[in-house]
Structure 1
Amino acid sequence: MKTIFNTIQSESKKTASDLYPYQQRDLDALFDKLSQITKDKRVLHQLPTGGGKTRIFSEIAKRFISHYNKGVVVLTHRTELCAQTSATLKKLGVPNKVINSKVKQLKSKECCTCFVAMVETLRNRIKDGLMNTNDIGLVIIDEAHHNSFQKLFGKFPNAYIIGVTATPFSSNADTPMYKNYHELLVGESIENLIAQGYLAKPTNWRYDVELASLKTGINGDFTISTSDALYSSPAMMELLLHAYEEHSKNKKTLIFNNGIFTSKNVCQMFSDAGYAVKHLDNHTPPAERAEILRWFKKTSNAILTSVSILTTGFDEPSVRTVILNRATTSVTLYHQMIGRGSRRLPNKKTFTIIDLGNNTDRFGEWHKPMDWQLIFERPEAFAESLHAQSTAEQHAIPADLKAKFPNTLSMSFDIQGAYQQAIDSNQKGKIVLRDAIRQHAVMCMENSESISEALQLVDELQKEIEWRVKQYGKCLGKVTKNYTDWLKEDYNSKLKTIITKVMQRKQRENPMPLSA
């Protein structure tokens, strides 16, 4: 097999006329990797949305089939991706068969060609004895970050396995990608693809949204019910309309929502405002969906508001604005949503991102480099950082507590952000608590007339103090409850000492005049 791969690798050096240079590099690197490993070592290829992953793995399938008498299976998780992959393969001259619910048997001549299938469908067909998996020499897994594919790994004893994804990070902590794939090949970065003219350059408009009301569900992302409550509120609907009219009016726009209730309300609001708009979700009948997508394609100023339907398997390069009318803790979803607007056209060199979910703060700007190799190797640390960010966003200071500090403009303090800034500046992390204590001291003193009143306000801050200490403990890593209890006591002690000393000094410097 290695000899065959060396032959394919040698031929792959002859650049296909329609492959971009970076795609050719990745193709060469993948064949080089396959020539060095055994079949039990699975390879994962990362390339941004819009980079042409389907084109690359279709070329791999073509060259594999032409040089080795073994079949190729391409696995996807959506019917739309099956259709797209099948069409791309056919364009390259690769005969292929889509295995769907209608396929009940295979002709003998079809046993060593190329198949495109969804996981569950293929699993059932294998169980029914429809396919001889011993004849399959290569399995390609599209959108490999999904956890459903691993159940088929053992069904192909003679096959090499290549996974492809834009984001090599599993949202399921129990199945990190390094458990299913042994090596990661990182492709061209978004920043470089923009610089080389392959992707459109983004303009990002961010709005600071209060997300304290959002709750996370069992999958780790924000729940639909709390998202619907927030994003269907009059304030958020008004903000969405304002953001659109300010930065995207009359441009072809995709709006991503977390709930159907919100999306339908958004559709009604834009319709009432006189804009061309339609709603789409995963319950929309296929025929109606096809009609809506045709309308969206041909309507230059169309607005399409959607839920859980256009993040994969949808390609409309004429989209000029993507609005994230939701918050998410999924880096994969973040990249998928924005990627829908990143396709470049001769008359489209830029596109607009409108972020109404603090997603840019959570993940960083979409086009900025990410260390995918580190994320692949240490997903637990990356997941913890996302969780910490979400926890910080959900922390809200109660209105009744704010009312007790009327002279204070800002009561918040980003412990984790300050800690990271201190470490980056080669300072000791403990200065974060020092600064947090000083801020609380100022708050208590500027809202009090006497030392006793200021110390009473310290008592009101106990929940805030506890929260700050917990955030600091997370920065340090795994610390004992005894240590965090001591930190809280020390925090209170230093806070009261500062207040007492400063206010006593001020009283000595500015004694109260004697009454007549």
Structure 2
Amino acid sequence: PMYENYHELFVGESIQHLIDSGYLAKANMYSYNVGLTSLEVGANGDYTVKSSEDLYSNSDMLYKLVSAYEETVKDKKTLIFNNGINTSIQVFQAFKKAGYPIAHLDNTNTKKERELILRWFHKTPNAIITSVSILTTGFDEPSIEAIILNRATKSLTLYYQMIGRGSRIFGNKINFEVIDLGNNFYRFGAWGADLDWQKMFRSPDYYLNAILSDEEIESSFRFELPADVKKDFAKSKDLFFDVKRVYIETIRAGESSKRVLEKSIEHHAKICVENSEDVFDALILAKKLGEEIDDRINRYAKCISKSTHNFVTWLKDDYRKKLNTHLRSNFDEIFEDLFGFSPED
């Protein structure tokens, strides 16, 4: 800890003060929920490159990254930070395939290659650079309009450094956009938040213990069906089922906790029937709910404080069987309740 080697910490002006004074641009944050429980922490206290590469190089995360870019910062000059060269190369290929102007930069590039890439980035209005940590410090490009954190970190310093690359005032620029794909916003708060640096200096353990774990962060997430699955349930207005709320209401009513899963199965059956013409359509849709079923079971297991791997696995298998049985036995009745007439034979 720093306090063992230094007696006093001198704190400069806050980021918010520098923003208010017109010296820095304001960061507009956009946070996308990402499951990080597969990540491992290394000896340096941060997430390992290997586990980060495994997560951020998979097709789902690459799709989520490109979609987030298109939804929020499309055609803005963008800098993407990754935790691993392979991830950055995969990001480069994904954006290139989508038709966007992008370059990859890492510490294996020669000095001349780096100069050419940065010159291109400076001159191209909607350019994108995907990199690892080479541009977190010692890099100054005021025309950057967007930062994408395509990685998670446990380092507050790195978090501030990465976002800070987009904070330089330039022309009429007073704001820049930040896309967070590593739950860093939930971990550290907004960039420029009023942090008690003196308290962190004197009691670093207090600060570290106050940081939410990945499991705590993810427990507050609301599961969203993947876009390609969601379109198959277009006729349903309410796809969300709040497991924790239903659990609390069920227990307060004096009912068994098993009723939570029964109510969940009834909800899943309803949205399957709503978007089907016959029981076979409904069973096909039920198979597409696999990820959401797993999410509901994981939340339920936390509610009842039983989370052994074998038990949770059994619950997930049992849920799928009961949902299919419920659909086969009750399709006609559910269909008639929903639409006011019987399904065609």
**What is the TM-score with the length of structure 1 in the denominator?**
0.45
Correspondence for 1:99: none
Question: How far off its partner does 1:333 sit?
Answer: 0.6
Mapped contact 2:92–2:104 kept (Cα < 8 A): yes
Residue ranges of structure 1 left out of the alignment (5+ in a row): 1-175, 397-406, 414-433, 450-456, 468-516
Aligned pair partner of 1:446 in 260, 264, 267: 260
- Render the CA deviation track for 1:426-469: whole Å, top value 9, x for unaligned: xxxxxxxx99x8699774333369xxxxxxx9xx94896277xx
Q: Aligned pair 1:409/2:258, yes or no?
A: no
Partner of 1:246: 71
Partner of 1:297 in structure 2?
Answer: 122
* 1:224 match: 49
> Structure 2 vs 1, CA of residues 184 and 323 (structure 1 numbering), >3 Å: closer, same or farther?
same
1:202 matched to 2:27? The reply is: yes
Q: Does 1:313 align with 2:138?
A: yes
**Quick one: structure 1 residues 461 and 236, their matched pair in 2 at CA, closer, same or farther if it must change by over 3 Å?**
closer
2:186/2:217 contact within 8 Å kept: no
Residues 317-326 or 230-239, more deviating: 230-239
Number of residue pairs the alignment of both structures matches: 253
- Superposition pairs of residues 288-437 of structure 1, within 5 angstroms: 288-386=113-211, 388-393=212-217, 409-411=241-243
User: C-alpha displacement at 1:290, in angstroms?
Assistant: 1.8
Q: Determine if the alignment matches structure 1 residue 465 to structure 2 residue 305.
A: yes
- Give a deviation string over 1:170-224, Cα, whole Å, max 9, x none: xxxxxx1111221111111111111111110111111111112212122221121
1:154-179 Cα deviation digits (max 9, x unpaired): xxxxxxxxxxxxxxxxxxxxxx1111
Q: Which structure 2 residue ranges, 5 or more long, are not aligned?
A: 221-238, 264-296, 308-345
2:66 aligns to what SS in structure 1?
helix
Residues 253 and 412 of structure 1: is their aligned pair in 2 closer, same or farther, counting only changes over 3 Å? farther
Query: Deviation of residue 229 (structure 1)?
Result: 1.6
* Residues in 2 aligned to 1:249 and 1:324: alpha-carbon distance in whole angstroms: 15
Query: Residue by residue, what CA displacement relative to the aligned partner does 1:294-328 show, whole Å, maximum 9, x if unpaired?
Result: 21112111100000201111111111100001111
2: CA distance, partners of 1:194 / 1:360: 19
Q: In 2, Cα distance between the equivalents of 1:394 and 1:446?
A: 21
Q: Do 1:256 and 1:305's aligned partners in 2 also have CA atoms closer than 8 Å?
A: yes
Once the two structures are TM-superposed, the CA of residue 230 in structure 1 deviates from its matched residue by: 1.4
Counterpart for residue 136 of structure 1: none
The residue number in structure 1 matching 2:38 is 213
User: If you compute each CA radius of gyration, which structure gives the higher value, 1 or 2?
Assistant: 1
Amino acid of the structure 1 residue aligned with 2:72: H
How far has the Cα of 1:410 moved from its partner? 4.0
Structure showing greater relative contact order (alpha-carbon pairs closer than 8 Å, 6 or more residues apart): 2
Percent identity over the alignment is: 51
RMSD (Å) for aligned C-alpha atoms: 3.1
What SS does structure 2 have at the residue aligned with 1:204? strand
8 Å Cα contact 2:37-2:215 kept in structure 1: no
Distance 1:284 1:195 in 2: 38
- After TM superposition, the score normalised by the length of structure 2 is 0.66
The within-5 A match list for 1:79-228 is: 176-228=1-53
Instruction: Give secondary structure in 1 for the equivalent of 2:193.
Output: coil
Measure, in 2, the Cα distance between the counterparts of 1:240 and 1:314: 23
> d(CA) in 2 for partners of 1:218 and 1:384?
18
